[in-house]
Structure 1
Amino acid sequence: MSLMQATITTVAHYPGLLCAFDFSQTDAQTLEAVSANGAISGIVTFPQGVTIGGDGVSLDGTQSAQFAGDSGDTPLTVLFIVTPTTADTFELYHNSYASRDTILSVEAGNPRFYYKSAYNNSENTINHTAAISLDKVNLIGFHTKNREANDQYSLEFGLAGETGNRESAVFVRGPYHSYSSATLFRSAFAGIANGMLVFDRQLTEAQIDEILYSLNIYGQISLPTNLNPDRFQSGAVLTAGRTIEGNFELAAGESTLSHFSTSQKGTPLEFVAFDTDEGGSVYKTAPLDPSTATELDFQAILGGAGGSSNQTSKVSGVVQIDGNPAERTVRAFGYDPTAHQIDGETLNLSKSLGHATSDPETGAYTIDLLAGYDKRIFVVAFDDYGADFTPDKALSVGDRVHPTTPNGHVWECTGAGALPSEEPTWIVDTETAQLYGTASMIAKPFYRPMVHGPVSPEVTLGTVNGDEYFNSVTLLTRFDGADGATEATDLSNTPATITFGAGAVIKTDQSKFGGASLYLDGSSNSYVRTNRVQNIGTGEFTLEAWIRPAASNTMRIISSQDLVNTQAVLTLRVNSDGALACFLRDKTSGAPTVYFFSAPGLVAMDGSKWHHAALTRDQSSKLTLWLDGTAVATQTSNANPTGNSNAYDIGHFDISQERWTGHIDEVRITEGVCRYTEAFTPPTQPFPNQGQA
């Protein structure tokens, strides 16, 4: 698949899109434009001998392409997506019309937009100060207004996945040229030509940034699977942080799974499938890179007992559809593989750990898990898909039938009778019953299965809706896992790497949620480090965690200090006297320190109590320390603690100072959002690991 697929999907609805080229989706020589609105058509033709495939067309510096199309005198924005391998001077676009030249080029590594008119001897240039990046995806483009004098014309530039940069200049006379023909990639361009976008207007900064982001995600994924094509399958796609990116369905008779992914390219994804026709079988793939995988190889995950014979376990939650309670069959499946030896053989068959039906009035459910199962599970809510169409089958009121060709609906019997001898044309009318054979039936929407997890038993699941600010979460870790584990996962959209020091370990003797928490023993290696560089600047933010300190020392909960410019500091900590404190310092040399704290004795320091601790800054630069939902100290400062290498750490400062002794659970960092502005009830369940449905 091509990186341009995600971008074309992103821009398909943009007003003014004339055409979008994906240079990897072509025949051997000619590239046809993908026209979004039929305004123009176009063809880009490459010479004989070029290599087409992968993410685009590979050019060696001696080849160029020709564009042919027609846009009349419309304003024009042309954006090139390229992966250059040399920073030498080259041209991306050269249009000559009526003694006028319009050129988009790179000059000694810097983007340049140039216009020259022989009619009035005018000449105008925009030079971008930033350099292109070699062997990375670059966006380079320009905007012109055509014949409109004294107007603004811009040069666009940015890197895939990063915020766009732009410069502009005012011309005495705007570039005027026909869009009927142009030479592309001429004069020594070497690298990959990935694609080209053409619009009849200038794009907003937000649209440019959205395109840049889309160039670094998978986009549409379509891969064959080894699942049984004779049965209906449904499932979920998980990111590397084990958060659910989305759901999918694979109807009977299909063997290719399609899913639109917003994960960044190179991020491994896992696919989990639930076989609703096999009494609860569940399968998953190993983590894989969809851009290089050739098939989704699903392997059975085994259910079965995970706890001791004298323990019980359960999971509870609420099912909602569009914010309303719903009645659904809810099943729990084991996530971690368990091998069963029976008659000398290892059976690769899985089974459900339990099921229940959610209450139609409240949506609530509780599933008692098989044999006290205590490992991670998925909880899946299934709509009633009904039975296959069977000729002349007798139906009772409430029975459901689904059509042979799925169309998003099932038909529920409202008046007993028999189905016809041949499958009818199903009428999608959700308000009026129709007669099928002698049975009265009405169409009902069929909702996709809803998947939650992996979660640990005894956890009360949230509703379908998640965190409205989840896209602003830059670090989220629950510290769940087996007793003695020394690893944790960042569940944010772009997971950070988390590293445990020798004095850090997951323990199950204490937890706020999930059956486990982080324990730090206060030794010289008592810390958890991340590679998530703090980036709050002067804006809003929220740092928060559940804490259970067990020593009367000054100890850091969450800390960010630039190891190069030690001036820049952001810290949420507890003082030795039981006060909650904030330590904040601007990155500017000599800037004053912002240090404020609560009254002493508010935090239990003897390991006897869990506290919810938080530090926020709102849009008016008001900093607030929160303990168990109550504001305990405030200060005002717009200090900017963002340096060059100040990653977030948990439980220490620079390994040897202010080390934590005790437990920490549920750490969440939100940049750009102040979550708490007035007294609140601390969270009663784990922080959501996905956005709102």
Structure 2
Amino acid sequence: MADEEFMSGDLFATVRVQDLPASREVVAVERQDDGAWRVCGSAIANADGIAELGLKGSNTSRVYAFAIDHWGEPFTPNRTVAYGDIIRPSVFLGWLYRVTDPGVLPSEEPAWWNSTPGMPRPVGSAMAQAEMYFQPIAHGPVDIEWEVKEGGDPHWDNVVSLLHFDGDLTDETGRIWTPIGSPAFADTAPMLDGEYLTQGGVANSDIILGAEDFTIECFFRVRSTPPMFIFLWDGRGAVGSDGPYPIVYMQGSDMILRNHVNNGTTGPNSSVAVALNTSYHFAHVRKSGVSTFYLAGVNVGSAEDATNYNLQTLNVAYTQSGSFGDFLDMDEFRITKGVARYTENFTPPTEPFPNFK
């Protein structure tokens, strides 16, 4: 589970040793749904025995809290020790020895003793007081009040690509894109000025959409009318090659919405005029064998589409001539595999797509 998928919560603990408040380390562990265990938080109780643990975990896990006693350091001949250091004998019999006066331990291990209240004894040139060791104490499962993340993506597990274009080509899913040309980010535009980005090869098999539902979407803005075809995305290995993969492109002042299969078209085949210097959200959604194009949240084309999209190549921000950024800006490119996010007209999102559940 990635860190961004964890929820936050708080655990308050009280530690008492022999019925008295004690400063001890408190550790919380969770047993996740898949049976895996992980530490989800820790803190040290204060002198009043109070600890507040900030947790990061899953709200479906079972959480257990452990109070851990000091374990000390093993006896080392001629070691210099300071006040408060804890020494553990080489043969452990349930007692530890806390240094009350600093000094140097002897060259040979002394005969250790049991606790005598208020009676430190010499250990070399140092003095130490015996303390009983207490095994870890556990409680649980304990109730945790988890904080619900606002604005998460319930379909984050299905996202196979998310590019914010915030000054770099970081894909929030960890996918590596190959820039073709020399991309550079313009000061006033969210999208890069370059030739295009590409994905290809067997390592990218998870972008194969198959016959499943899917959603491919982005924001775009037309700066100026392109003289030739300019593609928001194109799954063909080269222009004119066989598909299949959805393609969306600009031709003049019109946005052409089309699927490309075996050098032909299938599914929605629409042409929509778009205004210059206007930001639009666009989504290609397939739901139960029907593909629909949404521009600014409005259905602008729909048709049956049973295509098995089986290519592993995907080009984004592709142009046949010049730089993509000369004509269009792109922002918030996302592919969601197995989920049709939009099934009717909708209000487009206004915030960056989240990268957590």
Q: Give the TM-score, by structure 1 length.
A: 0.31
Alignment correspondent of 1:652? 318
Evaluate the alpha carbon distance shift between residue 245 and residue 656 of structure 1 in structure 2; reply closer, same or farther with a 3 A threshold. farther
The residue aligned with 1:618 is: 287
In the aligned structure 2, how far is the partner of 1:246 from the partner of 1:259? 12
Q: 2:170 aligns with which of 466, 489, 498?
A: 489
**1:219-230 → structure 2 map (5 Å cutoff):** none
Residue 289 of structure 1: aligned partner: none
Structure 1 residues 247, 663: closer, same or farther in 2, change over 3 A?
Answer: same
Report the Cα offset of residue 549 of structure 1.
Answer: 1.9
Cα distance in 2, alignment partners of residues 464 and 616 from structure 1: 25
Distance (whole Å) between structure 1 residues aligned to residue 198 and residue 28 of structure 2: 38
Distance 1:548 1:575, change over 3 A: same
Name structure 1 gaps, 5 residues minimum. 1-218, 220-236, 263-272, 278-386, 391-401, 410-427, 429-443, 451-462, 482-486, 511-516
Q: Look up the match of 1:627.
A: 295
Report SS of the residue matched to 2:157: helix
Distance 1:581 1:658 in 2: 21
Relative contact order, higher structure (CA 8 A, sep 6+) = 2
Give the alignment partner of residue 593 of structure 1, picking from 244, 256, 265.
265
Q: Could you say what secondary structure the match of 1:500 adopts?
A: strand
Match in the other structure for 2:230: 555
Aligned equivalents of 2:315, 2:172: Cα separation in 1: 16
Instruction: Name the SS for the 1:476 alignment partner.
Output: strand
Give yes or no for contact 1:582–1:625 (8 Å, CA) kept in 2: no
Specify the alignment match of 2:99 in structure 1.
none
Instruction: Please report how far the alpha carbon of residue 656 of structure 1 lies from its aligned counterpart in structure 2 after TM superposition.
Output: 5.8
Query: Take 2:264 and 2:256, find their aligned partners in 1: how far apart are those partners?
Result: 20
Please give the alpha-carbon distance, in whole angstroms, between the structure 1 residues aligned to 2:301 and 2:192: 27
User: Corresponding residue for 1:122?
Assistant: none
Deviations 1:561-619 (A, max 9, x none): 24697343321223323234123215xxxx85227444442x12x3x111001111110
AA of the residue aligned to 2:231: R
> What displacement does 1:651 show?
0.6
Match of 2:191 in 1: 518
Is residue 582 from structure 1 mapped to residue 258 from structure 2 by the alignment?
yes
Shift of 1:558: 1.8
- 2:176 maps to 1:507: no
Structure 1 468/552 Cα, relative in aligned 2: closer, same or farther at 3 Å? Answer: same
Contact residue 555 and residue 576 of structure 1 kept, 8 A:
no
Q: CA deviation at 1:559?
A: 1.9
Question: What is the identity percentage for the equivalent residue pairs of Structure 1 and Structure 2?
Answer: 21
- Name 1:683's counterpart in structure 2: 349
Which AA in structure 1 matches 2:254?
G
Tell me the C-alpha RMSD between the 2 structures: 4.3
**Which residue of the other structure, out of 286, 306, 311, is the alignment partner of 1:638?**
306
Give the drift of 1:658: 9.5
| 1:14-71 deviation per Cα after TM superposition (whole angstroms, max 9, x unaligned) | xxxxxxxxxxxxxxxxxxxxxxxxxxxxxxxxxxxxxxxxxxxxxxxxxxxxxxxxxx
Which residue number in structure 2 is paired with residue 609 of structure 1? 278
| 2:157 paired residue number | 471
- Give 2:339's aligned residue: 673
The 1:404–1:666 alpha-carbon spacing in structure 2 relative to 1, beyond 3 Å, is closer
TM-fit CA distance, 1:497: 0.3
Residue of structure 2 in register with 1:536 after alignment: 209
Specify the SS of the correspondent of 1:594. strand
Higher-Rg member (1/2): 2
- 5+ residue gaps, structure 2, are 14-22, 34-40, 54-62, 66-138
**For the residues of structure 2 that align with 1:526 and 1:249, how far apart are their CA atoms?**
49
Change in Cα spacing, 1:258 to 1:659, as seen in structure 2 (3 Å) is: same
Matching residue's letter, 1:669 = I
Q: In structure 2, how many angstroms separate the alpha carbons of the residues matched to 1:541 and 1:595?
A: 14
- Return the offset for 1:500: 2.7
Q: Return the alpha-carbon distance in structure 1 between the equivalents of residues 182 and 246 of structure 2.
A: 23
Residue 476 of structure 1 and its aligned partner are, at CA, apart by 0.8
CA 1:658–1:597 in structure 2 vs 1: closer, same or farther (change >3 Å)? farther
The DSSP-based 3-state class of the residue aligned with 1:631 is strand
Q: For the residues of structure 2 that align with 1:480 and 1:253, how far apart are their CA atoms?
A: 45
Asked if structure 2 preserves the Cα contact closer than 8 Å seen for 1:555 and 1:658, the reply is no
Contact 2:9–2:144 (8 Å) recurs in 1: no
Q: Measured at CA, do residues 579 and 618 of structure 1 come closer, stay the same or move farther in structure 2, by a change above 3 Å?
A: same
> Does the 8 A contact of 1:479 with 1:665 survive in 2?
yes
Contact 1:476 1:669 in 2 (8 A): yes
* CA distance, structure 2, for counterparts of residue 256 and residue 565 of structure 1: 59
Q: CA deviation at 1:464?
A: 2.9
Change in 2 beyond 3 A, CA 1:657/1:670: farther
Q: Secondary structure at the match of 1:496?
A: coil
> Which residue in 2 is equivalent to 1:285?
none
Distance change in 2, residues 1:675/1:405 (3 Å)? closer
SS at match of 1:480: coil
| 2:155 alignment partner AA | Y
Report the TM-score when normalising by structure 2.
0.57
Aligned-partner SS, 2:217: strand
Give yes or no for contact 1:504–1:528 (8 Å, CA) kept in 2.
no
1:573 aligned to which of 221, 242, 249: 249
Q: Distance in 2 between matches of 1:585 and 1:405?
A: 59
> Does the CA contact (< 8 Å) of 1:528 and 1:649 recur in 2?
yes
SS state at 1:556 partner:
strand
Give the conservation status (yes or no) of the 8 Å contact 1:542–1:674. yes
Q: Distance in 1 between matches of 2:317 and 2:305?
A: 24
